[in-house]
Amino acid sequence: MDELTIANIFNVALATGAGVALFNGMIHGYTGFGGALIIIPVLTFLYGPVEAIGMVGLITIFGALQLARETAHQATWRELGPICLGIIAFTPVGAWFLYHIDAELIRRSMGGFIMLFALILLSGWTYCGKRGAVPSALVGMTAGGINGLTGVGGPPLGLYFLSSPHPVEVQRANIIMCIIVLIISMIVAIAVGGGYSWLVIIRALLITPAYLFGVWFGARMFAVAPKTWFKKVALVILMVTGISVLVA
C-alpha cells in the first residue's frame, strides 16, 4: 500500500479519476445505474482492483442517496425485497474471490460481464417470465456475486428492470434503490476484508464532489430528455464500456 503523502494523493491519477467520475456520475444520474461501469475499470488501472472497488463504494454512495431522495416514492417496494436479500447474501461471496484471484483476471471479468449484458439488450431480448420472489432473488444473487468480484453488479439489475412492464420512471427508481443496497454491501465487504486505508478513503472523498455534480447533471437530463432515449442510452453505455475494458 502506498504511503500517505501529498505526492501520492494530489497527482495525475487523482485528476484522471475525478474527470472520469464526473462523466460516470452523469450516467448514474440519468439511468439510475452504471455508477461504477467506467470509473471502476479506470481506477483499477490506476490503483488496483481492491482499492478501486473500495474507492468507488465510497464515491458512489453519496450520489445514490442523492437520487434516492428524489425517486423513493416511485419504487415498487414489494418486489425489491427478494432482490436486495440476494444482493446482501452474495456480495460477500464475490468479494472472497476478489481477494483470492489474479487482478488481471478481475479486470477482464469486468469487461466480460458488461459486454454480456449489453449484447443481451442489443439482441432485443427481454425477460417475459414471472417476476415473483424466486426470479427476483436469483437476479439479486447474480448482481451481488458480480458486485463483490468486480464492483459492476448494476447491469443484471438494469436488464431485469428495463424488461419490466413498469413506466420508465418506476424502472429507474427500482434500479436506484437496489443500487444503494449493492453499494452498501460492497463497502461492508471491502471493509471486512481490510481494503480501506486512510489513503484510499482520502482519495475517494476528494473525487466525490466531481461525481456528485455529474449525478446532479444526469438527473436533470433525465427530467428534460425524451423518455424514449432511456433504454437506448443505457445500451450504448454498456456496449462502449464493455468493449473498452476488454480491449484495454
User: Looking at residue 160, what is its pLDDT?
Assistant: 87
Domain boundaries, the chain: 6-247
pLDDT the model gives residue 165:
85
Residue type (1 letter), 148: G
* Residue 115 three-state SS: helix
Q: Which of 172, 132, 159, 169 is nearest to 235 (CA)?
A: 159
Task: Enter the C-alpha cell of residue 216.
Answer: 446532479
Q: Is the dihedral of CA 194, 195, 199, 202 positive or negative?
A: negative
Going by C-alpha positions, the residue among 83, 79, 108, 109 that lies closest to residue 94 is: 109
Which pLDDT belongs to residue 62? 87
Rounded Cα gap, residues 198 and 206, in angstroms: 12
Using a 10 angstrom Cβ sphere, with 0-12 exposed, 13-18 middle and 19 or more buried, the burial of residue 135 is middle
pLDDT at res. 177 = 95
* Of 33, 144, 131, the residue nearest 98 (C-alpha): 144
φ, ψ (nearest 5 deg) of residue 217: -65, -45
3-state helix, strand, coil in the chain (%, to 5): 80, 0, 20
**Predicted pLDDT at 191:** 94
pLDDT of 2 reads: 66
- pTM (two decimals): 0.83
Residue listed under C-alpha cell 485528476: 15
Distances (CA, A) of 174 to 10, 140, 143, 181, 239: 37, 12, 14, 11, 22
Q: How far apart, in whole angstroms, are the C-alpha atoms of residue 236 and residue 27?
A: 11
pLDDT at 233: 72
* Residue 29: Cβ-neighbour burial (10 angstroms; 0-12, 13-18, 19+): buried
Q: How far apart are CA 183 and CA 204, in angstroms?
A: 14
Question: From first to last of its 248 residues, what are the pLDDT tens digits of the chain?
Answer: 567 788 788 899 999 999 999 988 888 888 777 777 778 888 888 898 889 999 999 999 988 898 898 899 999 998 899 999 999 999 999 999 988 888 778 777 777 777 777 777 667 777 777 788 999 999 999 999 999 988 888 888 888 888 888 898 999 999 999 999 999 999 999 999 999 999 999 999 999 999 999 999 988 988 887 767 776 776 776 676 667 666 65
